[in-house]
Structure 1
Amino acid sequence: MYICKYNFDINIQPFFRNFIRRMSLFRQISRVYRSKPCMRSMSVNSSSLTDLAVDEDGIAVLTLQRPPVNSLNVELLQAIISAFDDAAAKGCKGMILTSSLPTVFSAGLDINELYKPEMKRLTLFWKTFHDMALKFLTSDFPTATAINGHTPAGGYAVAMLSEYRVTTKGQFTIGFNDTALGIVPSAWITDLMLHTLSPRRGELALMASTMFSPSDALKEGLVDDIAEDKAGAIEKCKGFINQFNNIPKWTHSPCLQKIRRIPLESLYKYLNENPNEVLDQVTKKETQNALGEYVEKLKRRKLERTKK
């Protein structure tokens, strides 16, 4: 039988002294990064489109406030990016998205950016939308969304980009209805949807533009929790963010990017190889016709409400 003989005739004390010294330094650095305070202010960034407020625990709440339905146009997307950067610069430990509107989180992409578009504006719109997506997918701090009303299409894309979603109870729907408007979602969107739901359920929901009630959204995995009202949803989002209190901040973005590697790689591939894919699709005659029909439907609904 072969016996391996190790030579332990070495002085190990210097090794342990160095090890203990390194661990002490690591603990000091960890405390700095874990407890770095967010500059407290009840309104650190406010515009006509968004409001960024920070609580005493350093959690930022970004409220979308573009009536009537928080539709995402260039300016609102830019405001979200700006607020995201402000929260990061101030050292906030997390950010929650919600809406100031009582029945709508976000109706999605602004139809006026897509229907009969001016190409320069449309190009800027898509670039800004993807810049916003990258902020979430590579975030240095945890993000969550408190859904408090209707959340179709691009509205749910914004919610899905965050790491945790809580919906309120109510008579509204959540999900992707892009195909119903004649739009095929980008590969990174479908990958993110399949990452969020089970692949089979995500496939069926995307293909059929299925919209879910809050309870069904919870059951299927579109959201992680449900609350009675917006305040309750925000509190649950804060609970999620507080789970990271003892986690070194520098681990968040690398870990998040590994976990969401497939949709993130799809997004980078789209930006590098197919940046005009959606632009070409949106400007197709068939898509413009479908969008035109949708615009007319919205006009009829508005007229009917006016008559009442």
Structure 2
Amino acid sequence: MASISFIMRTSTLLLIKSKFILLSKNASQQSLKGKLVETIQNNGITTISMARPPVNSLSLEMAVELRKAIENSIDNNTKGIILTSSLASVFSGGLDILEMYKPDLKRCTDFWHSLQDLWLTLYSLGIPTAAAINGASPAGGCLLALSCEYRVMVDGLHTIGLNETKLGIVAPKWFQDPLIATIGYRQAELALLRGTLFKPQEALKVGLVDELASNKTDALTKCISYITDYAKISTEARTATKLSLRKETLTWLEGNREWDTTIFLNYVQLPQVQTNLDLYIQSLKKKSK
């Protein structure tokens, strides 16, 4: 789940800078009139760019559109997928807090299911996947990057990590397990307990990202190189190996979707959580005046 504490400290600056502040669910819905995801295929490789200002927050509609873009790419026989952002300084700020504020339980349930479906689709893809992380990537944004096989992060002041504990909540198992698989149990344990947000150099050192890039173009080039390196590798053998490595976590969520959803719904209805959300939204209104 997205860390509201991160958004309060960091994303507010992005919101003000872009002069695009989400103040209500109506404002959130109006933003959906634009294109949420941009897809380009070049030389058999599909680049999927998140395009939901100001921070590519994951709403119900955003999660659905991302999954559709991935599935459409598969239907078009793509050789690999690169996930990135069309925004200048953020990859994804995580979950849209308006999906959790005074929630309609039917929509909130659909929202969580859409996020589960997106993750299951991306994490289980047989083709090569790479993330060109061109900005801030906390919580749910980090999950998207972890769901790809390879991660290239643009060097700079932004950070990446699963920082849920800083809000006083627990990252779901299917958030935790990919981090453990990526940086090892001990490093993941410390990062999850502390809610660590890694700077690019730190993320590279612990193995959270595989390479650093000087800019987005450089990151995309390195992602393309990763994907094309598999041209001479058996597709069947590669896919079977990948799914074998990821089977345990995939199987867990497939078998525990409703339990996982219940935990999430119980969380968003906690009075203290709603109070924190309300305070955050009120602070945005004051800053916009």
| TM norm. shorter chain > 0.5 | yes
Alignment-derived partner of residue 36 in structure 2 = 49
- 1:123 lines up with 2:117 in the alignment: no
SS for the counterpart of 1:166 is strand
1:290–1:208 Cα change, 3 Å: farther
Residues 87, 272 of structure 1: alpha-carbon distance in 2 compared, 3 angstrom cutoff: same
The answer to whether the aligner puts 1:279 opposite 2:248 as a matched pair is: no
Match of 1:263 in 2: 249
The structure-2 alpha-carbon separation of the partners of 1:147 and 1:187, relative to structure 1 and needing over 3 Å to count, comes to: same
Shift of 1:297: 4.9
Larger RCO (alpha carbons 8 Å, 6+ apart):
2
The answer as to 2:213 corresponding to 1:227 is yes
The equivalent residue for 1:12 is: none
CA RMSD of aligned residues (A): 1.7
> Which of 179, 188, 200 is equivalent to 1:214?
200
Report the 3-state secondary structure (helix = DSSP H, G, I; strand = E; otherwise coil) of the residue aligned with 1:149.
coil
Match for residue 140 of structure 1 among 84, 105, 126:
126
Q: Which amino acid aligns with 2:141?
A: G
The SS at the match of 1:206 is helix
Query: Following TM superposition, by how much is the alpha carbon of 1:261 offset from its aligned partner in structure 2, in angstroms?
Result: 2.7
Equivalent residue, structure 1, for 2:225: 239
| Equivalent residue, structure 2, for 1:188 | 174
Counterpart secondary structure, 2:53 = coil
Instruction: State the TM-score, normalized to the length of structure 1.
Output: 0.78
Higher Cα Rg, which structure: 1
Q: How far has the Cα of 1:278 moved from its partner?
A: 1.5
AA in 2 matched with 1:195: A
| Deviant stretches of 4+, over 6 Å | none
1:299 positional shift: 4.8
Question: What is the 5 A alignment of 1:1-308?
Answer: 48-56=35-43, 58-271=44-257, 273-299=259-285, 303=287
CA separation of 1:53/1:219 partners in 2, compared to 1, >3 Å: closer, same or farther?
same
User: d(CA) in 1 for partners of 2:204 and 2:258?
Assistant: 35
Distance (Å, rounded) in 2 between the aligned partners of 1:274 and 1:129: 12
Q: Report the alpha carbon displacement of residue 265 of structure 1 after superposing the two structures with TM.
A: 2.8
Name the SS for the 1:52 alignment partner.
strand
Residue 172 of structure 1 and its aligned partner are, at CA, apart by: 0.8
Q: What is the rounded CA distance, in whole Å, between the counterparts of 1:158 and 1:98 in structure 2?
A: 10
Render the CA deviation track for 1:126-180: whole Å, top value 9, x for unaligned.
0000101111121121111000011111011111101110000111111112122
Conserved 8 A contact 1:148-1:168: yes
Give the 3 Å change call, closer, same or farther, for CA 155–284 of structure 1 in structure 2.
Answer: same
SS at match of 1:260: helix
Segments of 5+ residues of structure 1 without an aligned counterpart are 1-46
The question of whether the paired residues in 2 share the 8 Å contact of 1:191 and 1:266 is answered with no
Say if 1:161 and 1:137 are closer, same or farther in 2 by CA, change over 3 A: same
Question: For this pair of structures, how many residues does the alignment match?
Answer: 256
- The superposition leaves residues 75-108 of structure 1 with CA deviations (integer Å, 9 ceiling, x where unpaired) of 1111111110111011110000111111011101
